[in-house]
Structure 1
């Protein structure tokens, strides 16, 4: 399937619709700028992984690790997603119009991940940068050991180690309003809390910090 997709793109067919793919894994992987891919039904695991600039829309639900390690582009999931949405994302945007499982945005390095629903546990684990936006509830250990970036949650949540709840500033409000308007998400910025890192160097204990200052 991916060979045929890349063959069509090499022939300057930039807009491609995929039908009746079932729940095949690793569809539309590693595509570059200019490609517009529409998957009309559900997708399996690792859909649109390693995305490097393509615009990819999935009409149904997806399995685990959609957009895994993407570097740029946009992925829109019209249904729900399983675990690992946007794992290790460097940049780009992922929109899930339903719920998502555990491990959303773990090791996020700069991507914008929007879940228009509820998510599971351990979102944003070890994240370094970027934004995770959840219009519903988040599970346990949200932001566990996060080092940078922001997690915005409108519903219930339980923070993890080194995660602290902070007030939204005008820049946060402006960012959320713009994202919601761009992607037709029915949410209000004032309903959200922001979760960020409590310490910038969470893995250093007092002994190590004292030693480093010598």
Structure 2
């Protein structure tokens, strides 16, 4: 039996596609190709390690949500909440994404080669999010842990009410949010950035990075 499943019927619903994925995984198929431009939501949700997805086209909300270790490559754009609450694995987007990408991530890597919308990595709990293009407002809002690496520019209120983790950016930042502040990069930061970006074979200028951290771990209760 072939270890690969290919789905290319544009008339299928999200439920029908996910039922085919479930059946393929039961048959030990470890590579799943989906071609669709219907901007369907909640595709490739909650899948385990050892599975590779190749999504081609335009997709909707919650793609790769609750990912538990699979590798998802998207040759196109996605809508909101890409990788929502994923715990591990890798999602690579060749295009751009809308608002809320990486919301509540516990772990794993999210690489966006285009632009990202507002509220990138809100409530990030430990994931690594990389954006090669520009991002919208309030990136890293309420983030607790993890890293956001931006190779483009950021809009307003970057790091708004962040409580932990780090934001690294090479471009311009229109404004910082509440409880966010610039810090100096140390050698540990430089080593971490280099290791992450080299692992994804990305070009970068290490000297161009600025670091944004929280001012206080307890901004609502005093220092």
Q: TM-score range by the shorter chain?
A: over 0.9
Instruction: Pick the aligned partner of 1:67 from 83, 87, 90.
Output: 83
Pair 1:98 & 2:114 matched:
yes
Q: Which sits farther off after the overlay, 182-191 or 83-92? A: 182-191
User: Using the alignment, how far apart are the partners of 2:32 and 2:145 within structure 1?
Assistant: 32
Aligned length: 206
Unaligned runs of 5+ in 2: 1-16
Q: CA RMSD in A?
A: 1.0
1:2 equivalent to 2:14? Answer no
Could you say which residue in structure 2 is the equivalent of 1:134?
Answer: 150
| Preserved CA contact (<8 Å) 1:74 1:94 | yes
Cα deviation digits, residues 149-198 of structure 1 (max 9, x gap): 00011111111111010011111111111122111222122111010011
**What residue number does 2:55 align with?**
39
Q: Aligned partners of 1:99 and 1:108: how far apart in 2? A: 18
CA distance in 2, matches of 1:140, 1:167: 21
Aligned to 2:67: 51
Question: Is the Cα–Cα contact under 8 Å of residues 36 and 59 in structure 2 kept in the other structure?
Answer: no
| Alignment of 1:87 onto 2:103 | yes
2: CA distance, partners of 1:102 / 1:134: 13
Partner of 1:182: 199
Output the CA distance in 2 between the equivalents of 1:128 and 1:160: 15
Q: 1:47-87: per-residue Cα shift (whole Å, max 9, x none)?
A: 01111111111001111110001011100001000000100
Aligned position for 2:221: 204
Residue 42 of structure 1 and its aligned partner are, at CA, apart by 2.0
Aligned to 2:194, the other structure's residue is in SS state: helix
> Residues of 2 paired with 1:76 and 1:89: CA distance?
15
CA distance in structure 2 between the partners assigned to 1:9 and 1:156 by the alignment:
44
CA–CA distance in 2 between the matches of 1:96 and 1:111?
Answer: 14
Please list every run of at least 4 consecutive aligned residues from structure 1 whose deviation after the TM superposition is greater than 2 angstroms: none
- Per the normalisation by structure 1, the TM-score is 0.94
Match of 1:212 in 2: none
The yes-or-no answer on 1:121 pairing with 2:137 is yes
Q: Is the 8 A contact 1:177 1:188 kept in 2?
A: no
